[in-house]
Amino acid sequence: MAKRWLVTLAALWLVWCVPAAMAANSEATAGYYQVESAKPFQDVVDDLKLIVSEKNFRLTGHNQLGKALRERDGEPFPDYDVLQFCNLGYAKELLKIDPDAIRYMPCTVAVYSRNGKTAVVGHTLPTDTANPQLNQFGVKMNGILKEIIDYAARR
């Protein structure tokens, strides 16, 4: 039980705190892309898994934070899921451009309920660095990430 709680806290810290710290300490600005969907939460998660696979990425993690908190506390808590995925070809390309870009990996998308809708948000790569190759890669990957999020949300 304590181990599950620590894993949940670590996942929350990784998702919310690390990107903010990196943005504050980086010369580049990584951002977010977010859409809302009228689809039920689980449908969005299922469609996200499907499109990730269809785009030739591998799901590397799926943290069901809302579920973990409900199980731990035995009381209602909204759904919050974080999915992580990676494509080894793109990973190799990015790391050849800039080994320090490992900080942007893997791709991460959070899905949660808000105001009766399902929010889908992903970290985007910077496109304003001093490295033109990294900027071009960021534009390409941000486009793919937006396609993935838009498909899951079916805007």
77: CATH = 3.30.310.70
Q: How many domains does the chain have?
A: 1
- DSSP letter at 154? T
- What's the confidence (pLDDT) of residue 5? 44
DSSP for 49-109, please give it. HHHHHHTT-EEEEEEEHHHHHHHHHSS----EEEEEEE-HHHHHHHHHH-GGGGGG-SEEE
**Closest listed residue to residue 33, CA positions, set 139, 122, 142:** 122
Short-list 142, 30, 123, CA closest to 82: 123
Which pair of structure tokens corresponds to residue 44? 């969005």
CA atoms lying within 13 Å on the CB side of residue 121: 12
Q: What is the pLDDT of residues 49-90, one digit of tens each?
A: 999 999 999 999 999 999 999 999 999 999 999 999 999 999
The mean pLDDT value for 97-125 works out to 96
Average pLDDT over the chain, rounded to an integer: 86
Whole-prediction pTM value? Answer: 0.80
The domain of 128 spans 2-153
The whole-angstrom separation of Cα 42 and Cα 81 is 10
